Structure 1
Amino acid sequence: MQRPVTTPAHGTQLPQTVAAGGYGTAAPPLPYGEQPLPAELPVPPQPYPQGGNGTDGGGFVPLPAVVGADAPLPPERPVPHHEASGEHGHLVPAHPGGAWQQYDPWSPPGRHGLAVPPPVRRARRGPLVVGAVLLALLAGGVGGTVGVYVERHGGPGDIILPQDDEAPRPRDPHSVAGIAQTALPGVVTLHVRGNAEQGTGTGFVLDTQGHILTNNHVVEPAGDGGEISVTFSGGQTAKARVVGRDSGYDLAVVQVDGVSGLHPLTLGNSDAVRVGDPVVAIGAPYDLANTVTAGIISAKQRPITAGGEKGDGSDVSYVDALQTDAPINPGNSGGPLVDGRARVIGINSAIRAADGSTPDGTTQGGSIGLGFAIPINQAKRVAEELINTGRATHPVIGVTLEMEYPGDGARVSGLAKDGRNPVTPGGPGAKAGIKGGDVITRLDGAPVHGGEELIVKIRSHRPGDTLTLTLRRGGKDRTVRLTLGSSGTG
């Protein structure tokens, strides 16, 4: 912004001049011997010459108060009758429109008539007008230049605050900035639209074939005829289709086609994570894409259940979660939780809300520093199954639990429900000798406090894994070993 520079309002004012000879020039002295008049004739006031203004503004140039315009006139004295009779001279009337002139008795005959003033020279306005215009243009140009300089650099009296002009430097790859720089190109924002609802979530690229991992509850609103749009960190968008999803793990894989330059994220080892390790969460909380927050792993193996809106338990997910204090909010769901080397160690899935509930990402509760992520070791297996077969398998022990059991541990139902045996015949539990009414108190030496916790711990394994269970039956403990089956076989 330029500051205005004051310039003359009507151009440059020309200098004031006085025309020569305009106030009654005295006649040259007369030869010696002529008789002067007894006294000087009175000199009436002399008017300013009219005309010759010499200005560009249409008015007159005021003349300076010089040339005796305000000086007092000499006192008059009586003129003798013989002098006034014209014997030796006569009064010379003023020339109309001209200046007054005094009679000189020493002037020769015939030369004491009217004095003709020299012609008044008019000022040459042409060069002065051009000069005024050029001067105004020059002043405007200089003023504009000065205004721009002052606007950008400040005037001599402006306060300039000190600022470090250090050039941008590379960030440590293990700093939050370095981690974000590495991971952001592989993180995407998902916009899902279905017949009845819509939502926003996060995902990340698994491979160069366009597979993207996210939460099941993020893509579930699309249903069978919905639409999923993927926006990459650089702003590119693409349509995506569901490859497979599983509500029990709250995981889903979608795929984009025809997109080049994909940046798959490196998967880490969630079993190697320790409490206190620094982590970074990346996602689109409240649809604010490419948001980066940082924290630590504040706990491991947190038994978290989410979902359950259907009421039949088919949409309940059981997660043996990583807990973090990195801020996670609705919209972060499905995004990566990465370690200090930008490797994915978890999938952000749930938060503990201030009212004590555990939303699945569809509520609007904000972060209170209790976020939960699905361990990547579990998610990797599920993602591979979804990509390869379109469905995921669940490890099972082949028993039905009493979820309302108030005591410590997970109790196997004592009575059959819906005509089914609480211990599946031929299943992993039956082979291990588990019976109805048994209470499972430990799994691989870790305490079990309820039915949901037992399911969560079992889901953290894969079918075929061997576990050691501690049972309490009739007030006595016993230990059994079993091999996990899958939801398709047991």
Structure 2
Amino acid sequence: MLDLDPEEQRTVRLFQDNARSVVNVSTTATYGPLFSPFFAQQQVPRGVGSGFIWDTAGHVVTNAHVIAGSKEVTVTLSDGTVAKAQVVGGDREKDIAVLKLQDLSQEQMSSLRPVQLGSSSNLLVGQRVFAVGNPFGLDLALSQGIVSGLGREISTGGMWGGLGAASITNGIQTDTAMNPGNSGGPLLDSAGRVVGIATAIVDPTGRGISSGVGFAIPIDAVRGMVDQILRVGRVVRPALGISIAPVPQAMQGRAAPSWSSQAQRPAKAEGVLVVTVQPGGPADVAGVQPTRRELTGRLLLGDIITGINGRAVRMQKDLFAALDQCQVGDVVELVLMSAAGTSRTVNITLADRERMAGSE
């Protein structure tokens, strides 16, 4: 490397030091009739992505959408070793999955090289970052760019063909080239530490081509989620036991269709509207009121959440971001406003969202 300038030498070393930690993740799916004397089910390739070695026990971290719908997952290490992988667990909304390499020899296990984890909390816009992965199924490739923005909200509803409001908060925006196949690979800082996981790109063409706007899941959030998956097989997320919707426009003071004589004329407010409250859930116990319709047909709007733990809630994403910082069993303080304009504060003990049947 004598002919390279110091910056090039650092970049080459960064790739060499991390290449052994990055893997190719390929999946197959089963197609064909379940029961037929004429046609057998077939295993066909479904897709490829990237991942990285998390620990010496053989755990690999990748995106949940990389392995979604797969029947079989195969991981190819940097030295060409191919291993079957078991899905330990994951979380679709946060787009995280953990795999466990299978049937490796003791020598192969001892040669695994986990990544070095950094921190995403101290990232700065403008600092250099690097993506290592397998774009378009090619062998390991390196691309570089800068942190273009921080605190981005990455919608994950579209990854699954749904219309939900699921999202990843505090996402990292970068102009580092990321293409199909990069998903699940690490985003590194200039010291070679993982600061994020490549997860999505903005693609105006619809052809899966990088436009210079890519997003990564911050590693600080990934740490906690991976730890939970390794302990219990899933991400344990807290819930209030409600479903929510944006506040009607008439309550925000913007133009809106006229309210019928049978509807309640609401006060102006910013926040999120409580649509339903799960019976016996945390919000129900605390007295949070849902939206409901009286026998006469009159619509009674529910409580409006305007704050949580001292933070303003103006949109749904504000509530999601606040809950992402909490754990099951935490007590949160909600500021509520009734449709008539009366404000009150309640304390709610958060429950396990999965046991609350997917409510917020």
TM over 0.5: yes
1:169-184 pair list within 5 angstroms = 175-184=10-19
1:247-286 pair list within 5 angstroms = 247-257=92-102, 258=104, 259-260=108-109, 261-286=111-136
For the 8 Å contact 1:303–1:453, the answer to whether it is kept is: no
Q: Render the CA deviation track for 1:231-264: whole Å, top value 9, x for unaligned.
A: 2223332222212122122111111131331110
Equivalent position of 1:294 in the other structure: 144
Rounded to whole Å, the distance in 1 between the matches of 2:327 and 2:177 is 30
Counterpart residue type for residue 178 of structure 1 = R
Highest relative contact order (Cα 8 Å, sep 6+), 1 or 2? 2
Matched, 1:218 2:218: no
Equivalent position of 2:305 in the other structure: 440
Equivalent position of 1:379 in the other structure: 222
Matched, 1:429 2:311: no
For the 8 Å contact 2:247–2:273, the answer to whether it is kept is: no
Count of equivalent residues: 306
Give the secondary structure class of the aligned counterpart of 2:243.
coil
Between 365-374 and 467-476, report the one with greater CA deviation.
467-476
Rounded to whole Å, the distance in 2 between the matches of 1:176 and 1:465 is 44
Rounded to whole Å, the distance in 1 between the matches of 2:140 and 2:180 is 14
Shift of 1:404: 8.2
Rounded to whole Å, the distance in 1 between the matches of 2:50 and 2:174 is 18
- Distance of aligned partners of 1:311 and 1:297 in 2 relative to their CA distance in 1, 3 Å threshold: closer
The structure where strand makes up a greater share of residues is: 2
Q: 1:192 aligns with which of 27, 48, 52?
A: 27
Q: Render the CA deviation track for 1:313-366: whole Å, top value 9, x for unaligned.
A: 68x7421122222222211111111222222121111112226xxxxxxx6322
Rounded to whole Å, the distance in 1 between the matches of 2:125 and 2:344 is 32
Q: Render the CA deviation track for 1:154-204: whole Å, top value 9, x for unaligned.
A: xxxxxxxxxxxx835695699433332322210111111112461010000
Equivalent position of 2:264 in the other structure: none
Equivalent position of 1:232 in the other structure: 77
Equivalent position of 2:53 in the other structure: 205
Shift of 1:471: 3.6
Structure (1 or 2) with the larger CA radius of gyration: 1
- Distance of aligned partners of 1:341 and 1:389 in 2 relative to their CA distance in 1, 3 Å threshold: same
Shift of 1:484: 3.1
* TM-score, reference length from structure 2: 0.74
Q: Give RMSD over aligned pairs.
A: 3.1
Counterpart residue type for residue 424 of structure 1 = Q
For the 8 Å contact 1:347–1:375, the answer to whether it is kept is: yes
Equivalent position of 2:237 in the other structure: 394
Rounded to whole Å, the distance in 2 between the matches of 1:175 and 1:318 is 35
- Distance of aligned partners of 1:382 and 1:295 in 2 relative to their CA distance in 1, 3 Å threshold: same
- Distance of aligned partners of 1:305 and 1:177 in 2 relative to their CA distance in 1, 3 Å threshold: same
Counterpart residue type for residue 183 of structure 1 = N
Equivalent position of 1:365 in the other structure: 208
Shift of 1:270: 2.2
% identical aligned pairs: 35
For structure 1, which runs of at least 5 residues remain unmatched after alignment? 1-165, 356-362, 414-421
Equivalent position of 2:197 in the other structure: 347
Counterpart residue type for residue 429 of structure 1 = A
- Distance of aligned partners of 1:371 and 1:209 in 2 relative to their CA distance in 1, 3 Å threshold: same
* TM-score, reference length from structure 1: 0.56
Counterpart residue type for residue 289 of structure 2 = K
Counterpart residue type for residue 200 of structure 1 = V
Shift of 1:449: 4.1
Equivalent position of 1:411 in the other structure: 273
Matched, 1:167 2:10: no
Shift of 1:310: 6.1
Give the secondary structure class of the aligned counterpart of 2:121.
helix
Give the secondary structure class of the aligned counterpart of 1:212.
strand
- Distance of aligned partners of 1:345 and 1:310 in 2 relative to their CA distance in 1, 3 Å threshold: closer
Equivalent position of 2:86 in the other structure: 241
Give the secondary structure class of the aligned counterpart of 1:329.
coil
Rounded to whole Å, the distance in 2 between the matches of 1:213 and 1:254 is 6
Q: Render the CA deviation track for 1:57-101: whole Å, top value 9, x for unaligned.
A: xxxxxxxxxxxxxxxxxxxxxxxxxxxxxxxxxxxxxxxxxxxxx
Shift of 1:276: 3.0
Matched, 1:325 2:175: yes
1:97-136 pair list within 5 angstroms = none
For structure 2, which runs of at least 5 residues remain unmatched after alignment? 32-44, 253-269, 291-301
Equivalent position of 2:297 in the other structure: none
